[in-house]
Amino acid sequence: MNLLDVVYEFQSLLHKQRSLDIPLDEAEKARLVGLDLLLRGDHLGLRRAEMTTLLHPIPAQFTRPGGFGAGEIRSINANGMALVTSHPSLVGTRTIVRIADPLRGVEYVFPGQIVWVDGNVMGVGFDGMPTAAPFLLPTRTGWRRDVRFGGPDETLVA
């Protein structure tokens, strides 16, 4: 699993438990606790900083009043992310952050709210059920031979 998978799964379980009032089964409860410890760094016997700073920023798009914005995620944790952008939104603005992972062919969508702004960096607190979906189609090999243009006796004119 990569970091986005861990954050996605943690937020999904948390939202299911808190917002949807759906009780988690024992395996889901254990998974939620384990993911929380993993994201906080407790599995290493020490506490990590407030957010995990990414070695390679992740490009992201987000909604903003009147349109869309783009930026890079520089830090992330179980509760939110720090997103660098040329036009940060105001504190309190609701947003949806889209992250496409082209290597794995997965698109993540995290609903959130701007909780702080410092220069061109805005903190997005997660707020809602995230989604993850594949966005790449399987590759096809060879030519399709079943394509027909017109009827069997019809001449194709170019």
pLDDT tens for 28-78 read 999 999 998 888 765 444 444 466 777 789 999 999 999 999 999 998 888
Q: Residue 62: enclosing H or E segment and its boundaries? A: strand 52-64
Residue 147 reports pLDDT greater than 90: no
* Span of 15-24, 27-36, 89-98 with lowest mean pLDDT: 15-24
Element (H, E) at 8: helix 3-18
pLDDT at 143 over 60: no
Query: Residues of the chain with pLDDT > 70: what percent?
Result: 78
pLDDT above 90 (res 19): no
Percentage with pLDDT > 90 across the chain:
56
- 82 CB-near residues (< 8 Å, 6+ apart): 51, 73, 74, 75, 76, 121, 122, 123, 124
How far apart CA 45 and CA 107 sit, in angstroms, is 32
Structural domain boundaries in the chain: 3-134
The CATH architecture annotation of domain 3-134 reads Beta Barrel (2.40)
pLDDT of residue 88 exceeding 80, the answer is yes
How far, in whole angstroms, is CA 51 from its chain's centroid? Answer: 16
At 139, the pLDDT band (50, 70, 90 cuts) reads low
